[in-house]
Amino acid sequence: MPVATPLFQALTFLAGAVAGLLGALLGIGGGVFLVPFLNLGLHFPYQSAAAISLTTVIATSSSVSAARSGRHLINMRLGMTLEVATATGAILGGITAQELSQSTLQLLFGIVTALTAFAMLRRIGRRNVILDPNAPLGRLGGRYFEDESGGMVSYQVKRLPLGLGASFIAGNISSLLGIGGGVVKVPVLNAWCGVPMRAAAATSAFMIGVTATAGAVIYYGHGQLIAALAAAAVIGVQVGSWGGIKLSTKVKARWLKLLMAVVLLIVSALMIAKGM
């Protein structure tokens, strides 16, 4: 177990700040950046890196969702339905993480990071279609005002079992790898369940707090969470994402996404090479 020296605290804080900044600018969780930095850069055991990252994921989910509340972007009913699957998946992932070797976890992380990069590339330049604002919502549907298009968007949730399946897998890899799991949920909710991108992302970010808590509590109980470093990372991520939100109006997301997709592919290759 790494010791929380002042140097490690400072580095973890900085890494958290960078991860939070990039996460906020790119609309993804910062875990994909924080975990490899702690694991490959600072040589923390994978489980310690994942535990620290999960605590920052909880903080990001809570603060982002608090800021969004009241705007109907978060589909609470859909989120709470899918949480049944993510929470169960997270517990299983947390138990499995204790059994898997460092190199297996690194390989898995490499694969998931590559998927994140491709998902990000696909999203570049894509706009939401305005759906019929008067369509029936069904039991789980939602309705919200979209700033970009300046209109009401309403949608129905389709193929719920697929969404539940994706959420279970997302919960699983979340506590296994120390990331939020949005990379699995958001594309499925958007492409197959009929949830518009912004609502899918907001609902996923909302659920991630519960998912990451189920995972983090297991690491915490096992004494694998280094408290002082987790604290430094959480504060770093909060500062970083605050900065990211301020900057996001000035930075061209398109180029940044392209650049970061390349960075993620490099991270993925490094992790896979390390895990082989």
Partner 1 sequence: MSEARDEQLELMIGRVLKTGVFASGICLVIGLALLYVPGGARAAGILINVGLIILMTTPATRVVVSVYEYMRERDWLFVVLTTIVLVSLLGSLLVGLLT
Chain residues that interact with partner 1, rule: CB under 8 A: 6, 9, 55, 58-59, 61-63, 65-66, 68-70, 72, 74, 76-77, 80-81, 83-84, 87-88, 90-91, 94-95, 98, 139, 143, 209-210, 212-222, 225, 227-228, 230-232, 234-235, 238
| Closer residue to partner 1 (CB): 146 or 274 | 146
- By beta-carbon proximity to partner 1, the closer residue of 61 and 106 is 61
Nearer residue to partner 1 within complex by CB, 12 or 106: 12
- Per-residue three-class SS string for the chain: CCCCCHHHHHHHHHHHHHHHHHHHHHCCCCHHHHHHHHHHHCCCCHHHHHHHHHHHHHHHHHHHHHHHCCCCCCCHHHHHHHHHHHHHHHHHHHHHHHHCCHHHHHHHHHHHHHHHHHHHHHHCCCCCCCCCCCCCCCCCCEEEEECCCCEEEEECCCCHHHHHHHHHHHHHHHHHHCCCCHHHHHHHHHHCCCCCHHHHHHHHHHHHHHHHHHHHHHHHHCCCCCHHHHHHHHHHHHHHHHHHHHHCCCCCHHHHHHHHHHHHHHHHHHHHHHHC
Nearest distance, CB of residue 241 and partner 1, angstroms: 11
Instruction: Report the residue number, 141 or 275, with the smaller CB distance to partner 1.
Output: 141
Closest distance to partner 1 from the beta carbon of 62 (Å): 4
Which residue number, 84 or 270, has a Cβ lying nearer to partner 1?
Answer: 84
Shortest Å distance, C-beta 28 to partner 1: 19
* Min CB(11)–partner 1 separation in Å: 14
> Least CB distance from residue 173 to partner 1, whole Å?
16
